Structure 1
């Protein structure tokens, strides 16, 4: 990347939300009839999800670049072969739960990275609810032998490690023989705002959910109703553009105000706006996917920044705490310091004066790649390795930067 040396000014429409797209795909697949999903993200993660729905008996077509049409009987079928979901954590956890209401056996698997990402809390919760489920040491692959319906009235789930486990059991709860209470086993829940996204999508597809306390929900046995659904732009993708605007003192129009986003990562904008005087301590527990963005931005802040609440980032596509520290230290030794699960960024507004060319190891993690591209807006010689990994959630990311006038040159591995 070559720093533009000027303010970035322009208009970019971020892709559709990955989180919302994958929720809508699963809910539409479990709703009898025809559903149209518009504004959807087409990326590696959503392709894994849509392919799995096809393998489970749902007709899925793609009428244009941002739409899916699903025609379903309302029931998912046992696939003929194991479902391969790459490193798509959202799809893997959601489909593992959905397999519990399939009449037959479903094997959910992924790539080598996915096989290092924990799924034990979900497995434990489903087993306690009477589901025949097995995983190897708490990681994929997972084998589920469903009976077509849930015969329990209660599912207790530990959501401390990931809110995706909670969302997964909520989305299958309408297939009970009666109402099902979903209860958190502890008060902590990672990125609780994503549960709100799940509930909103469920209700759009006809589910009836009552929040009975801060840590429990009662879901009625309604099943789902086919519907048309509109996906909002991805707030996590927007954070890179908000940060690019901040770091270059630019003006980038995303086509919708930050207040219109319903996704948790949109709250990152309130922090990004404070650059170059970011808060001394930033808690990332409720905006996890935005933390890599803000951490790289913090490298150019006027004062050091400590990031806390990052334990969940260690079990994402890679250990993002360590990957961020390593990338920052490649730029300047001591720039990123791990302290337990905290990350201390020893900010240096004058990085340009002592910088030499570096390679950034992305660990095949799309968020590491897109975040460190922000450093390339200020520093010459930032080389992002495995840059194609952005296809996981934002295939057009490099072209979006080019459209703003940033020189991005793709090279083949040596």
Structure 2
């Protein structure tokens, strides 16, 4: 059990400075995989180096892909258009993108048995819909618990050219199949089972990245894509900053006053979480109802801001947050109520936050259980800008996507009390 603790000390002055968010995790892991599936040398710049992306890079190396890191934000990837079965199971920590994306690529381009596994948290995250889709394509794949580990008996392709996928739990299942499809050897169709899909904007990210690496993708309807058997070609690819990470800096600016320059206008982001900017800009008069379905990773940021809002905020469309790195709806409710009993409540899968501006400037001796979830840690740190006594448990879990987060806040004038065991 990690017993490290970090207590944020509210700054005496408004926050100001320049902080560049790290590269997008979502785009980095897509680009790494596509470069690994391509034949040739690709250079990825602006990339994120964090737990999630380094797990993906190591998995690709284990399957015969060359991955070099000549600079802090650069990957150079050398692919052959094939994936070799690794010598041992692929361990991917709690990297959801890596665990969801790789099985389909392995099924399309490898030959032999491959096991994709993760840590104790990943082993609770559902992958059954993707396994069912692969089985419908003639791939012998098993996940007995409905969660990782997943065993793929790859034969270097699919036996069908049309797959129907249930994406109600995660759009990552769709992205996995889309990215594997150009390697199928014949025109291929990916279709949704129904219209429910978690964070549809991430499909747009996937398609844009695929096209950058030479794929031909046509969206025939809101629930159907046709992909040509082009394979992928190596490319130089620039990765934009992470919009989810930017929400913490936008939130810090809204709560702490001052001016934080992140170097990228909100309008320049293509990631779905960037739409949170307008909601954050409305603070302390946030909308009474916020639909979080298409900006799921921004919801923790918005929920902590809502604690200091002038009025009550209800978050809807967030049922998928229950199957993220932790049950984020529950974690947010517990954390907010640790700050003040009755501050938040769950109604079904909705989260209601009773805004209380009087919390600003008060001492709230709250220990925030992060459940090893980076987004819970980073979002509740924002509460520490307004109220004293906010203590983040397991603060190093931010390394999953933003290893420099605490240093970034420190550069703006935030100070901490750290407790390290032993």
Q: How would you bin the TM-score normalised by the shorter chain? A: over 0.9
Determine if contact 2:362/2:387 at 8 Å carries over to the other structure.
no
Cα deviation, residue 353, structure 1: 6.1
Query: Comparing both structures, which one devotes a greater share of its residues to strand?
Result: 2
Are residues 1:67 and 2:74 paired? yes
1:127 positional shift: 0.6
Aligned mates of 2:414, 2:79 — CA distance in 1: 44
Structure 1 residues 100-249: aligned runs within 5 Å: 100-101=107-108, 102-249=110-257
Farther-moved stretch of structure 1 (202-211 vs 351-360): 351-360
Contact 2:361 2:388 in 1 (8 A): no
| Counterpart Cα distance in 1 of 2:32 and 2:416 | 33
Offset at residue 317 of structure 1 (A): 0.3
User: Of residues 364, 374, 386 in structure 2, which corresponds to 1:366?
Assistant: 374
Structure 2 gaps, min length 5: 1-7
Q: Quote the Cα distance in structure 2 between the aligned partners of 1:349 and 1:75.
A: 56
Q: How many positions carry a matched residue from both structures?
A: 414
| 2:319 counterpart of 1:350 | no
Structure 1: 5+ residue runs without aligned partners?
none
Per the alignment, residue 2 of structure 1 pairs with 9
Counterpart Cα distance in 1 of 2:12 and 2:315:
29
Partner residue in 1 for 2:99: 92
Determine helix, strand or coil for the equivalent of 2:418: coil
Structural RMSD (CA): 1.0
Residue 293 of structure 2 corresponds to 285
Structure 1 residue corresponding to 2:60, chosen from 46, 50, 53: 53
Q: Deviations over 1:43-80 (max 9, x none)?
A: 00001000000001111110010000111111111111
Compute the displacement of 1:182 (Å): 0.4
Select which of 25, 38, 42 maps to 2:49. Answer: 42
Instruction: Indicate the SS of the match to 2:152.
Output: strand
The Cα shift of 1:83 comes to 0.3
Question: Are residue 337 (structure 1) and residue 345 (structure 2) matched?
Answer: yes
Residue 105 of structure 1 and its aligned partner are, at CA, apart by 1.2
Alpha-carbon distance in 2 for matches of 1:162, 1:139: 13
Asked if structure 1 preserves the Cα contact closer than 8 Å seen for 2:340 and 2:364, the reply is no
Alignment partner of 1:295 is 2:303: yes
Structure 2 SS opposite 1:409: strand
Aligned to 2:89: 82
Give me the whole-angstrom Cα distance separating, in 2, the residues matched to 1:210 and 1:284. Answer: 27
RCO higher in 1 or 2 (8 Å CA, sep ≥ 6)? 2
CA distance in 2, matches of 1:308, 1:292: 13
Q: How does the TM-score come out when normalised to structure 2?
A: 0.97
Q: CA deviation at 1:358?
A: 1.7
* Secondary structure in 2 matching 1:410: strand
Q: Deviations over 1:237-286 (max 9, x none)?
A: 00000000001222111111111000000000010000000000001000
Pairwise CA distance, 1:397: 0.2
Deviation at 1:304, TM superposition (A): 0.6
What secondary structure, in the 3-state scheme, does the structure 2 residue paired with 1:232 have? Answer: coil
CA apart distance, 1:354: 5.3
- Is 1:258 matched up with 2:266? yes
Pick which of 188-197 and 346-355 moved more. Answer: 346-355
Q: State the distance in 2 between where 1:55 and 1:18 align.
A: 21
Partner of 1:309: 317
In 2: Cα distance, 1:260 partner to 1:393 partner = 21
Equivalents in 1 of 2:273, 2:59: separation in Å?
Answer: 27
Superposed CA offset, 1:6-65 (max 9, x none): 211111100000000000000000001111110000000001000000001111110010
Conservation of the 8 A alpha-carbon contact between 1:151 and 1:177: no
Cα deviation per residue 1:85-119 (whole Å; 9 max; x = unaligned)?
Answer: 00111100001211212111110000110000000
Post-superposition, which runs of at least 4 consecutive aligned residues in structure 1 deviate over 4 A? none
Offset, 1:411: 1.7
Work out the CA distance in 2 between the residues paired with 1:395 and 1:220.
38
Within 1, Cα distance between the matches of 2:159 and 2:260? Answer: 51
**Could you tell me whether the CA contact under 8 Å between 1:150 and 1:175 is conserved in 2?**
no
> TM-score w.r.t. structure 1 length?
0.99
Q: From 12, 17, 20, give the equivalent of 2:24.
A: 17
Report if the CA contact (8 A) 2:362-2:388 is conserved: no
Shift in Å at residue 164 of structure 1?
0.4
CA shift, 1:203, in A, is 0.3
